[in-house]
Chains A and B, each alone.
Chain A
Amino acid sequence: DAGVIQSPRHEVTEMGQEVTLRCKPISGHDYLFWYRQTMMRGLELLIYFNNNVPIDDSGMPEDRFSAKMPNASFSTLKIQPSEPRDSAVYFCASSFGQVGYTFGSGTRLTVV
């Protein structure tokens, strides 16, 4: 298995634009997590899914952020409109139950 695959690796966008981050979890994993990492706040969980259903979105910072998981092999995190304070590294991770927790390589987002 190629692991958790995220795209793009880097994204630079202008303030106000829509940004979509993508994640392909490991095949067979039933949990998917979106994290955000910044120097100030470290790694924060934004939202996680179980069997494609959102379970806990309490970490989503505001309504500008939305996440979907239309099927077991794909998830998106969308920011609309983007702001400079959204600049961070966004990680996706997947697991099978509480085991095999695997992170993707992340998407570095810069909003100018």
Chain B
Amino acid sequence: KQEVTQIPAALSVPEGENLVLNCSFTDSAIYNLQWFRQDPGKGLTSLLLIQSSQREQTSGRLNASLDKSSGRSTLYIAASQPGDSATYLCAVQSSGTYKYIFGTGTRLKVLA
């Protein structure tokens, strides 16, 4: 059974810092991994999707990496801004299924 863990659970950093959010999963037989952002009281917005054959994906200040063999992914945020404050969720789609298994998220606060 696939399990997804995110560390840390919460993070508070000053504006401008580069930061890394971690995600680990127990079953390496995945189809893809996706990082989502969730603002308080809102739905989820997809940030980056990495297919199992890919090592990383980049979008603006965000870079996500995937090491399938070790069951790990990281989300790197460069030059953080107060607007980046949100909860970041990692989700894994296992091979042969269409459902995502979510981690419990990292709650990020960027201080001005």
Contacts and interface: CB of A to CB of B under 8 A. Distances in A.
Interface residues of A, number: 22
Interface stretch (A14-22, A42-50, A60-68, A73-81): A42-50
Please classify the interface of chain A as helix (H, G, I), strand (E, B), loop, or mixed, using the class held by over half of its residues: strand
B102 A42 contact: yes
Given A98-B31, A98-B32, A101-B34, A42 B103 contact: yes
Contacts, number: 43
A105 B42 contact: yes
Contact of B105 (A42, A93, A98): A42
Nearest to A97: B98
Contact of B46 (A45, A55, A101, A104): A101
B99 interface: yes
B89 interface: yes
Interface string B31-61: 1101010000111111000000000000000
A103 B93 contact: no
Contacts of A44: 102
Contact of A43 (B31, B41, B46, B89): B89
Given A55-B98, A98-B93, A91 B43 contact: yes
A45 B98 contact: no
Interface in B73-112: 89, 91, 93, 97-105
A56 B102 contact: no
Q: Which 4 pairs across A and B sit closest by C-beta, in order of nearness? A: A43-B102, A42-B104, A103-B44, A103-B43
Interface of B: 31-32, 34, 36, 41-46, 89, 91, 93, 97-105
Interface of A: 31, 33, 42-45, 48, 50, 55-56, 91, 93, 95, 97-98, 101-106, 108
Given A97-B98, A102-B46, 5 more contacts: A42-B102, A42-B104, A44-B102, A45-B99, A103-B45
